[in-house]
Amino acid sequence: MNQPFSGFSKLSKEEKINWIAATYFTTPEEAVALLKKYWNSDAKIQKLHDEFIENTITNFYIPLGVAPNFLINGKYSTIPMAIEESSVVAAASKAAKFWSTRGGFKATVIDTEKIGQVHFTYKGDVSKLELFFAQIKSTFFTDTENITTNMQKRGGGILDIELRDKTNLMENYFQLHATFDTKDSMGANFINSCLEQFANTLKREAQQFDLFSETEKNIQVVMSILSNYVPNCIVRAEVSCPIEDLEEKHIPNPISFAERFVQAVKIAEIEPYRAVTHNKGIMNGVDAVVIATGNDFRAVEAGVHAYASKSGQYSSLSHAKIENGFFTFWLEIPLALGTVGGLTSLHPLVKLSLEMLENPSAEELMQFVAVAGLAQNFAALRSLTTSGIQEGHMKMHLNNILNQFDATEEERHQVKNHFKHHVVSHSGVVNFIESLRQ
Ligand code: HMG
């Protein structure tokens, strides 16, 4: 295909599939059959999924797993995790089980402030703009009353609006920087609706402000949009125990384990190459719960990594210390999540995941997500500083290698028996299957 297809979006689903199959596949019938194989047999559910996005041709599966035994603030929970990578759910489960007998996880929401900005240009006297803003500030609140009434009834709404002078960064650039409390919703629609009204109010009021010259009245709004950087929407998760309590079969010397663990975290704090992989491990847990509960993992990822760079250098999101004979490991991350709105009441598996978590508030969900991230990080660091990551990861990855080779039940049985006593590696499994097949 070497020219644009105008009107593709207007085709029916069937027509889109047929066109894709005929254009890109050597065996179009097979491509069509595969796409249709992944349709849901319940037409109502399929329609729901078709309408989540645009130009839907089929469904793309990601497994939904569960990690049980999470003792969080004294209460047990089972955490749903949607993720494609082997060993993540096992690792979270293992960390949950480990900490369940050592006091469990403590999780605290530190703040829940969301942010949105109207970016605009103004050419003129800054002191007049400041006076103008001070005089019309209350109008931003009154003009948005129709949008904010329900949110206010739930205890949320617009917290504050500031005028920010950004002319040191770009000529004539100013912002309305607004903060919000959106209670149990992630708040994107609410915030963006408020911001667009602020922008209209700003332009309208500027036209009527007597002290402005004609040039100054001509405020240009560039855009109005929420920020996914939410450094004041923070949750903390922590585990802690006396060092000697860390001892178990695979941790015969808890003191040297704790010391090495703290060193590993320190390296992630000071070395960006390591910090990125370290934080990737945390995001294994975070994203899996964020996706299972129907939240926006791109927004979370972008915000979390910006937070990891807040000092000017990308750094670890988690920290560890040994103090007075206690080992403590914690993380603080920004999470703007919702348990109402968006996909939460639409996607049947999201509803199920939220029910599994006993229909949490947004603050409770922040705690689950942060705990899953910390558990994941603990499991990875524990492996990295003891056996190495490959042993456990490859043990869990074994099924994928067997599937790649279309192993029979008998071959699977023999491979699993053999690798109970040998470290799993891709080449080791391949060689063993080949030896069985000779
Ligand atoms: P193990 O000691 O061989 O497991 O650990 P086990 O068979 O003794 O079982 C102990 C517990 O682990 C189980 O308890 C489960 O909780 C869990 P039980 O249920 O028996 O009462 N568990 C499982 N849960 C579900 N399904 C399973 C399963 N097996 C064990 N099949 C394990 C094996 C993989 C858990 C361990 O080696 C581990 O935690 N490894 C770390 C794996 C990891 O971090 N994976 C993430 C992918 S690697 C990565 O992307 C991030 C990284 O680069 C980040 C970084 O660098 O920091 C590493």
For the stretch 61-76, pLDDT in tens is 999 999 999 999 999 9
Is residue 137 pLDDT above 90, yes or no? Answer: yes
**Neighbouring residues of 117: CB distance < 8 A, sequence distance ≥ 6:** 175, 176, 177, 178, 195, 224, 225, 226, 227
- Ligand 1 atom at minimum distance from 376 CA: 44
Is residue 357 pLDDT above 90, yes or no? Answer: yes
Q: What is the mean pLDDT of residues 8-24?
A: 97
Q: What is the pLDDT of residues 173-187, one digit of tens each?
A: 999 999 999 999 999
Instruction: Please report whether residue 181 resides in a domain.
Output: yes
Given this model, what pLDDT does residue 398 score? 86
- The sign of the dihedral angle between the CA atoms of 117, 118, 119, 121 is negative
Range of the domain at 20: 8-50
Q: What is the mean pLDDT of residues 358-368?
A: 98
What separation in Å is there between the alpha carbon of 28 and the centre of ligand 1? 41
Given this model, what pLDDT does residue 52 score? 95
Given this model, what pLDDT does residue 337 score? 97
Dihedral over alpha carbons 132, 133, 139, 145 (to 10 degrees): 160
Beta strand spans in 255-390 (E): 318-323, 326-334
User: Based on the domain organization, do 288 and 349 belong to the same domain?
Assistant: yes
What separation in Å is there between the alpha carbon of 373 and the centre of ligand 1? 14
More confident residue, 4 or 141: 141
What separation in Å is there between the alpha carbon of 69 and the centre of ligand 1? 14
Q: Encoding tokens for residue 222? A: 């560039």
- Out of 163, 192, 227, pick the residue that ends a domain: 227
Instruction: Please report whether residue 94 resides in a domain.
Output: yes
What separation in Å is there between the alpha carbon of 88 and the centre of ligand 1? 7
User: Cβ–Cβ contacts within 10 Å for residue 212, how many?
Assistant: 21
235 CB under 6 A from ligand 1? no
380 CB under 6 A from ligand 1? yes
Q: Encoding tokens for residue 398? A: 């074994």
Q: What is the mean pLDDT of residues 12-18?
A: 97
Q: What is the mean pLDDT of residues 147-156?
A: 96
User: Based on the domain organization, do 208 and 296 belong to the same domain?
Assistant: no
Residue 332 annotated in active site:
no
Count structural domains, the chain: 4
pLDDT class for 170, splitting at 50, 70, 90? very high
User: Based on the domain organization, do 168 and 287 belong to the same domain?
Assistant: no
Q: Encoding tokens for residue 40? A: 């849901």
Helices (H) and strands (E) in the chain, counts: 16, 10
pLDDT class for 400, splitting at 50, 70, 90? confident
- Ligand 1 atom at minimum distance from 381 CA: 57
385 CB under 6 A from ligand 1? no
pLDDT class for 338, splitting at 50, 70, 90? very high
Type of residue found at 149: T
Is residue 416 pLDDT above 90, yes or no? Answer: no
User: Based on the domain organization, do 305 and 371 belong to the same domain?
Assistant: yes
Is residue 226 pLDDT above 80, yes or no? Answer: yes
Please choose from 64, 70, 94, 374 the residue to mutate so as to test ligand 1's pocket, defined by most ligand atoms within 8 A of CB: 94
Is residue 2 pLDDT above 80, yes or no? Answer: no
Sheet with 173-181, edge to edge strand ranges: 157-165, 173-181, 114-121, 220-227
User: Based on the domain organization, do 211 and 311 belong to the same domain?
Assistant: no
CATH number at residue 118: 3.30.70.420
pLDDT class for 396, splitting at 50, 70, 90? confident
Instruction: Please report whether residue 56 resides in a domain.
Output: no
Taking CA atoms, 47 is separated from 56, 58, 199, in Å, by 10, 10, 37
Residue 393 annotated in active site:
yes
278 CB under 6 A from ligand 1? yes
What separation in Å is there between the alpha carbon of 391 and the centre of ligand 1? 10
- Ligand 1 atom at minimum distance from 97 CA: 16
Residue 166 annotated in active site:
no
Q: In the chain, pLDDT over 70 holds for what percent of residues?
A: 100
Q: Which residues of 314-342 are buried (b: 16+ CB within 10 A; e: fewer)?
A: bbbbbbbeeeeeebebbbbbbbbbbbbbb
User: Cβ–Cβ contacts within 10 Å for residue 384, how many?
Assistant: 16
User: Based on the domain organization, do 354 and 318 belong to the same domain?
Assistant: yes
Q: What is the pLDDT of residues 229-243, one digit of tens each?
A: 999 999 999 999 999
Long-range contacts of 417-421 (CB under 8 A, 24+ apart): 419/395
- What single-letter DSSP state applies at residue 344? G
Sheet with 106-109, edge to edge strand ranges: 106-109, 234-242, 326-334, 318-323
Looking up tokens 């089980």 gives 97
User: Based on the domain organization, do 361 and 383 belong to the same domain?
Assistant: yes
- Ligand 1 atom at minimum distance from 87 CA: 45
Residue 58 burial by Cβ neighbours in a 10 Å radius (0-12, 13-18, 19+): middle
Q: What is the pLDDT of residues 276-332, one digit of tens each?
A: 999 999 999 999 999 999 999 999 999 999 999 999 999 999 999 999 999 999 999
318 CB under 6 A from ligand 1? no
pLDDT class for 392, splitting at 50, 70, 90? confident
What separation in Å is there between the alpha carbon of 323 and the centre of ligand 1? 28
Instruction: Please report whether residue 3 resides in a domain.
Output: no
Catalytic hit among 85, 259, 271, 411:
85
User: Based on the domain organization, do 378 and 419 belong to the same domain?
Assistant: no
User: Based on the domain organization, do 420 and 343 belong to the same domain?
Assistant: no
373 CB under 6 A from ligand 1? no
What separation in Å is there between the alpha carbon of 386 and the centre of ligand 1? 13
User: Based on the domain organization, do 132 and 216 belong to the same domain?
Assistant: yes
- Out of 162, 194, 227, pick the residue that ends a domain: 227
Is residue 81 pLDDT above 80, yes or no? Answer: yes
Instruction: Please report whether residue 46 resides in a domain.
Output: yes
pLDDT class for 425, splitting at 50, 70, 90? confident
Q: Nearest Cα to 142, choosing from 131, 128, 158, 155? A: 158
Rounded distance between C-alpha atoms, residue 240 and residue 230, angstroms: 27
67 CB under 6 A from ligand 1? no
- Ligand 1 atom at minimum distance from 91 CA: 39
Residue 416 annotated in active site:
no
pTM: 0.94
Is residue 393 pLDDT above 80, yes or no? Answer: no
Q: Whose CA is nearest to atom 40 of ligand 1?
A: 392
- Out of 227, 261, 296, pick the residue that ends a domain: 227
pLDDT class for 143, splitting at 50, 70, 90? very high
Given this model, what pLDDT does residue 438 score? 85
Q: What is the residue-averaged pLDDT of the chain?
A: 96
CATH number at residue 382: 3.90.770.10
User: Based on the domain organization, do 237 and 377 belong to the same domain?
Assistant: yes
User: Based on the domain organization, do 161 and 282 belong to the same domain?
Assistant: no
Instruction: Please report whether residue 12 resides in a domain.
Output: yes
11 CB under 6 A from ligand 1? no
